[in-house]
Each structure stands twice: as C-alpha cells, then as structure tokens.
C-alpha cells in the first residue's frame, strides 16, 4: 500500500491582462502562490471511495473514474477557505487528483487533466502555481475561440505560463478575509464574466499591458518590493474598472475601504482585491508585518465587518507530495 500526503497553498489573483474581444488574446491571468492557507490531503489505495468529507468524496469519485482505478481512502487535514478569492476550488481539485494518482502509482498530469474538472478555463494561474509556485503570468486564450461563451469541454487547454518569478522569502502578503458573502463562482461567475467581456473597454487592456511590461515584470525580476506592490495595485484597480457594473464599484463594497486603508499605510506597498473577493491582499514584508497586520485589523473594524487577517509568505515551489511506501520484506 502506498500512503500519499499532498499539500498545496492558496493563491492571490491580481487580475487579467485583457477582457476585451477587440484584442487577439483574452484573459491572461496574473497571480502569486501563497504558502498558506493550504489544502492537505492523505490518500491510500482502496477498493472504493471512502472519505468523510462530502466535497472531497465527490471530487475523488470523478478522479477514480478518470484514472480508471478501483478507489481511494482519502482524508482532508487542512482546507483553504472556500470561495473567498484564494483559489480553493482549483487547488483542492488538483490536490485530490494528485493524491489519488500517486496512491495508485500513476502520474497525475495536472495540466492535461485540469479541464476535466472545469479548472483552468479562464486563468492558468491556479494550475501554474500548483505545479511550480511563484509569481505567474499566463498566455490567456485566443479571443476568436473564447468569446462571451467558452468552447465546449475538451476543446480548450489550460493557458501556459509566459513568465514566472520566484519572490523573495522575506516578502509577505497580508490577506484580509471579511466575514461577508462569498465571491461569485459557477454559473453566476460565468454569467458575470460574459457580461463584462461584452462591454469591456480595450483601452484598459492597453494600460494593463503597459503596467505589466514596464512595471510589474521588471519589479518581479529585480525583487523590487515597492515597485511590485505598486504595480499589482494598479493592475487590480484597472481590472476593477471592468467589473464595476457587476460588483458595485471598482472594488466590491465594502472592500474598497479596506484596500484604501491598506494602501495608505507605509507598511504596505500595494493592495487589491483577489478575484471576486471577499479576500483583499496587501504586499508587506517581515520587518513591517506586525504593522501591516494591525492596519488590516483596524481596516476591518472601520468597515464595520468581522473577518480574519492572515500573514502569508509567497510559495516558490509547487505542491508538495510525500509518498510512504511499506518496507520490502527481507
């Protein structure tokens, strides 16, 4: 029997490079892997799917069918909070795929198989961070194929990374998760994105491209803390102008107040909203972490909401897999 433990961190999504059909490439995600929060699974081969976690069991059933293996005994040790903008769905699905595959001595081939679980349809950041971590920019999709409706399942692949940089180990992301309604997902998210794409201003994509090429990528390559934070904040705000009609503002209320509070602090280089929220992030570092955490807590209080504040290191490697094989008889 092979016992497998898989651990993968969440991710912050800074936004997309383009949402306008007037340009050749659509989407093109930008984001960074986090060391925490994490999903941690333990799997062993079995003759059926056995798991106390309903969500994990349903995902494992799909994986078992896809891999044509008998079953798996699966335990969930840690979760990434669901639908808050930290990539829980993709990281969870790929972790289950990886755990089941390795338990049966199969290669998971996560990038190839992610579309079978509906993952990587727009952004390739989740898959890329699961594979190798770091700060990632992906290629997006050809706009003539990904119009307001995505192609049918099986007719698209996860966007490939066009840039990846390890970030300094001393950097930290202060992540604020207000205790408000979860971010959009599923059919609701698809409908919202479809409306955004229909009316997206291509000029915003031109400005995002300038920020990415002239500010964000150089700052990542040079480990420029202030430059990187300012650039991701600019990308987030520009993306928010695309989503304003869908979420009630450049940032989803009351997240704009939290972003503003973080941005005003000298302990934070830049702040923004991850995906549909409600997670808000700010770039800080070890030396400024305590001050950034205090600012984040005060921001929640000023916004009149409860919530959690996490201090997360960037993760510069992919999912960690441990395999525990029984000793061979002597």
Predicted pLDDT of residue 260: 97
The span from the CA of 258 to the CA of 31, in Å, is 20
Predicted pLDDT of residue 186: 75
The span from the CA of 319 to the CA of 132, in Å, is 7
Q: pLDDT for 173-225, tens place per residue?
A: 999 999 998 877 777 888 888 899 999 999 999 999 999 999 999 999 999 99
% of the chain beyond a pLDDT of 70: 95
Q: What's the pLDDT band for 134 if we cut at 50, 70, 90? A: very high
> Could you tell me if 213 and 243 are in contact, meaning their C-beta atoms sit under 8 angstroms apart?
no
**Helix, strand and coil percent figures for the chain, each rounded to 5:** 40, 25, 35
Predicted pLDDT of residue 93: 97
Predicted pLDDT of residue 132: 98
Place of tokens 């338990």: 103
Examine the pLDDT at 251 and tell me if it is beyond 80. Answer: yes
Predicted pLDDT of residue 182: 82
Predicted pLDDT of residue 268: 98
Is 179 strand, coil or helix? coil
Query: Considering the entire predicted model, what is its pTM?
Result: 0.94
Predicted pLDDT of residue 155: 74
3-state secondary structure 68-137: CCCCEEEEEEECCCCCCCCCHHHHHHHHHHHHHHHHCCCCCCHHHHHHHHCCCCCCCHHHHHHHHCCEEE
Query: In this predicted structure, which of 20-29, 68-77, 184-193 has the lowest mean pLDDT?
Result: 184-193
The span from the CA of 256 to the CA of 237, in Å, is 10
Q: What residue spans define the domains of the chain? A: 3-324
Could you please state the CATH topology (level 3) that the domain comprising 3-324 is classified under.
Ribosomal Protein S5; domain 2 (3.30.230)
Displacement of CA 175 from its chain's centroid (Å):
13
Closest-CA residue to 280 (of 263, 307, 259):
259
> Could you tell me if 295 and 268 are in contact, meaning their C-beta atoms sit under 8 angstroms apart?
yes
pLDDT (mean) for 237-250: 96
Predicted pLDDT of residue 21: 93
Closest-CA residue to 282 (of 303, 260, 302):
260
């Amino acid at each position: 029997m092979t016992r497998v433990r898989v651990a993968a961190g969440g991710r912050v999504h800074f936004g997309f490079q383009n949402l306008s059909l007037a340009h050749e490439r659509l989407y093109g995600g930008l984001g960074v892997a986090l060391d925490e929060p994490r999903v941690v699974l333990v799997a062993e081969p079995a003759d059926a799917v056995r798991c106390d976690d309903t969500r994990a069991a349903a995902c494992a059933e799909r994986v078992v069918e896809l891999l044509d293996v008998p079953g798996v005994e699966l335990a969930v040790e840690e979760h990434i909070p669901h639908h808050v903008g930290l990539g829980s769905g993709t990281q969870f699905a790929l972790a289950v795929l990886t755990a089941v595959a390795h338990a049966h001595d199969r290669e998971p081939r996560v990038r190839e198989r992610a579309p079978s679980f509906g993952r990587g349809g727009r952004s390739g950041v989740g898959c890329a961070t699961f594979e190798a971590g770091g700060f990632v920019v992906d290629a997006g999709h050809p706009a003539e194929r990904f119009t307001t409706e995505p192609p049918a399942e099986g007719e698209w692949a996860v966007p490939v990374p066009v840039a990846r940089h390890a970030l300094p180990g001393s950097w930290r992301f202060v992540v604020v998760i207000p205790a408000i309604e979860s971010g959009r997902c599923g059919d609701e998210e698809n409908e919202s994105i479809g409306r955004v794409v229909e009316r997206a201003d291509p000029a915003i994509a031109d400005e995002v491209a300038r920020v990415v090429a002239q500010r964000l990528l150089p700052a990542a390559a040079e480990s420029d803390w202030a430059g990187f934070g300012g650039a991701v904040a600019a990308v987030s705000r520009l993306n928010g102008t695309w989503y304003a009609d869908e979420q009630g503002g450049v940032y989803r209320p009351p997240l704009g107040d939290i972003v503003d509070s973080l941005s005003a602090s000298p302990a934070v280089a830049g702040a923004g909203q991850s995906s549909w929220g409600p997670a808000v992030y700010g770039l800080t570092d070890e030396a400024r972490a305590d001050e950034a955490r205090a600012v984040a807590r005060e921001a929640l209080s000023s916004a009149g909401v409860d919530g959690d504040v996490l201090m997360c290191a960037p993760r510069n490697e992919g999912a960690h897999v441990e395999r525990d094989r029984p000793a061979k008889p002597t």
